[in-house]
Structure 1
Amino acid sequence: MDFGIITPAVMGIGVVSMSIAWVVNTWIRVRNGYPLESSWGKPIYPQKNDESIERVKLLSQENAQLRAELGSLKDRLANVERIVTDSGYQLTHEIDRLREEKEVN
């Protein structure tokens, strides 16, 4: 049997499968919040300096402001929806009732 062609093909498949496994492993680690590793297996953590910490604080404040604004916009939208979906009959009935009260007084 001639192993001259089969051996490089098997080795190529092994190298490709190991590369795919490394990519999948890295993807799973990143997705689940584990730190990446250097070529020697030591974890690589993101660098934390004063500038990045200040940036996170500013972004957190902006996020809180935007959430508060979104809450107030939701409330205003609910009021507008209530006004728009209120039937014309009820509105006319309220106006007539107020006119009658004014005429009585």
Structure 2
Amino acid sequence: MEFLTETAVIGGVIALSLGWVANTWIRVKNGYPLENSWGKAVYPKNDQAAERVKLLTRENAELRAELGSIKDRLANVERIVTDSGYHLTHEIGRLRDEREAN
């Protein structure tokens, strides 16, 4: 009985150690900083990630501004197309094309 208890304890310690190693490996593989027992980073995050976030934030702002500009242009085009003068001009052009075709 004592042998089974010792074996269970040793097996538990080995299982916990392997779990800790796997957890650490996964964290390092995905770029998370390692932490000590107090939750502080063992090594600082690399500056490349922070620089990439800055670049993506700037690109996002530029794309949002461009999208706003495109929305304004689209609203102007919609206004022109729905304007009654446009319909009249379009209808006259269509009738001219029909008359020239005959």
TM-score by length of 2: 0.41
Using the size of structure 1 for normalisation, the TM-score is 0.40
Higher helix share: 2
